[in-house]
Amino acid sequence: MELARSKYNFFVERPQGVIAYNARTGVFALLSRAVADCLRSNDRLPGLKDKDEAELVEQGFVHFGDELAEIKALFEQQRSMPNHVHVTIVPTLACNYECPYCFQNECRSSRMMSQATKEAALRWIRHWITADRREVLITWFGGEPLLCKRIVLDTSRELRELAGTAGARLELTIVTNGILLDSTTAQDLAASGISSAQITIDCLVYDGCHTRGVVDSAGQPSQIIANACEARKYLRIGVRVNVSSDNRRDLPQIVKTLRAYGFSGELRLARVHDFRSEGYELIRDKQLRRTDQEGSRSIAQPAGATRQAPDLCGHGLDLPRDAYARVEKEVVLDSPDGLLVMIEKLRPKGQFCSATGKHMFVIDPVGNISRCWHSAGSQAEALGNVYDDARHAMLQDSAAAKGWKNYSPFRFGECVRCKVLPLCMGGCSHDRVWISGAKPPCESINQQIQYCVDRVAEHIAITEEQLALVS
């Protein structure tokens, strides 16, 4: 079997030699210029010393056989994860905000999860907790899940009892817009077993109705941020900033303000996008729309809000992927905390997210079970329902289940050819399972890879011993 160079190598010149990084293994190594030039050349790979060859193979810079097959093997291995299950519970799709970019606007419903559906969901989850699962993650999501606070609290306590009886390790988290996350609610959530909450910010100045800002019109902490500061006495609080063309100019000040309030390591950015801008067409049910089980399209709205008809294919706030990558670099990667973010970006993955695994499920207010948060409220994208008797068959045999089962980033030539594949594993899978489009869902690391490698390499200390080995 012939020795070959890895296609996932990146190089950084240093006065002492060359630091090389391999995206498949995540390894940084100091190489002599002779070895680095050998790896960068397009000529036939010359013979290497046995010791050099063994080390370079272990580090991933050269390989025998098909290295893409090794990436595929890791994908399939992590796809199974037999001891792990992640269940997201959506007790309602109603919300007390009306963010124009929300992907759920097209399938909003004022319906709340009934007691019967809650009990059916618990019975369904019980199987997964007691079937040798030892790692159980439950996420509360919406809509706004705190509109169903009693369901969240009661069900969390029952789930904690189930996990305790089964001897499984349980983690409970919640995603909320934060306006209802007052001190009392945070204490109640913690007492029920919930350990962390994620809130979302999308502008600088909070208007109390449509946008979620970090400060109010007087420049004081907004109600959401004031709540978050109180809530972190009882919960770990993460802050996600949704970045759009609308808030791009204010983003540096938004992030600066959040850091001033103590949200630094917990801070993440996420790109707002629509499908129209990337050449996608939504695939909906037989009526060419995404609806809940009853076909309701009503949207809960805050008092005094004027509702606008949703644009099912786009919202006009999308930020192109390359523009978002530049914004993220300027605001996050170039910040004092940016090094840790870059190190995480350069960590190889087996999956982009849990949706492509066999043991992630989303349960919506009427009990429909899907694989992805984006599918909550869409009956057409459901694997089945918690009321179904043939629970296991539906997860394997339904049309939706087969769509997820057949998904693989290795089916797409642009991903197979990409040097960043081990770091993003094809990006968001939902778009490719349910939506056909012209552009690959590339993550920002695709635009930032060499910059991240350069910056991390700058911080790698080179010892006298290492220097002696490559001299």
List the CATH number of the domain containing 440. 3.20.20.70
Top-confidence residue, 208 or 26? 26
- Residue 282 clears pLDDT 60, i.e. is over it: no
DSSP 3-state of 7: coil
In a domain, 71, yes or no: no
| β-strand partners of 34 | none
The number of beta carbons lying within 10 Å of the beta carbon of residue 434 is: 23
Q: Give the residue from 97, 74, 89 showing the smallest Cα distance to 179.
A: 97
78: in domain = no
Per-residue H/E/C for 252-321: HHHHHHHHHCCCCCCEEEEECCCCHHHCCECCCCCCCCCCCCCCCCCCCCCCCCCCCCCCCCCCCCCCCH
Residue 18 resides in a domain: yes
Kindly report the three-state secondary structure assignment for every residue of 374-437: HHCCCHHHCCEECCCCCHHHHHHHCHHHHHHHHCCHHHCHHHHCCCCHHHHCCCCHHHHHHCEC
Are 382 and 454 within one domain? no
Q: Tell me: the pLDDT tens digits for 1-21?
A: 788 899 999 999 988 889 999
Q: What is the pLDDT of residue 303?
A: 31
Count up the domains in the chain and report the number. Answer: 2
Residues 184 and 270 in one domain: yes
pTM recorded for the entire structure: 0.87
Q: What is the reported pLDDT for 98?
A: 76
Shared domain check, 43 and 89: no
**pLDDT single digits (tens) 111-123:** 899 999 999 999 9
- Residue at 73 is within a domain: no
Q: Which of 4, 120, 78 is nearest to 350 (CA)?
A: 78
Q: 448 CB contacts (<8 Å, ≥6 apart)?
A: 325, 328, 329, 333, 345
Task: Kindly state whether residues 210 and 318 are assigned to the same domain.
Answer: yes
Residue 298 confidence (pLDDT) above 50:
no
Tell me, what's the pLDDT at 295? 40
Per residue in 318-369, pLDDT tens?
788 899 999 999 999 998 889 999 999 999 999 898 888 878 899 999 999 9
Does any domain span residue 88?
yes
Considering the domain architecture, whether residues 52 and 188 belong to the same structural domain is answered as no
Higher pLDDT, 447 or 107: 447
Residues 134 and 169: beta-carbon distance below 8 Å: yes
Residues 16 and 35 in one domain: yes
Is 75 part of a structural domain of the chain? no
Residue 10 and residue 93 in one domain: no
The pLDDT > 90 percentage for the chain reads 51
46 and 113 co-located in one domain? no
- Kindly state whether residue 463 falls inside one of the protein's structural domains: yes
Examine the domain organization and report whether 40 and 52 are in the same domain.
Answer: yes
pLDDT in tens, 432-455: 888 766 678 899 999 999 999 999
Residue 389 confidence (pLDDT) above 80:
no
- Mean predicted confidence (pLDDT) in 269-282: 68
Find the domain containing 166 and state its range: 83-446
- Whether cis (ω within 30° of 0) applies to the bond prior to 143 is yes
pLDDT for res 280? 58
| One-letter amino acid of 312 | L
Residues 26 and 137 in one domain: no
The more confidently predicted of residues 330 and 430 is 330
Asked if 101 and 33 sit in the same domain, the reply is no
* Mean pLDDT of all residues belonging to the chain: 84
CA angle 313, 316, 322 (to 5 degrees): 100
Are residue 417 and residue 466 in the same domain, yes or no? no
In a domain, 232, yes or no: yes
What's the distance, Cα to Cα, between the start and end of the chain in Å? 30
Task: Give the pLDDT of residue 471.
Answer: 55
How confident is the model over 37-59, as a mean pLDDT? 82
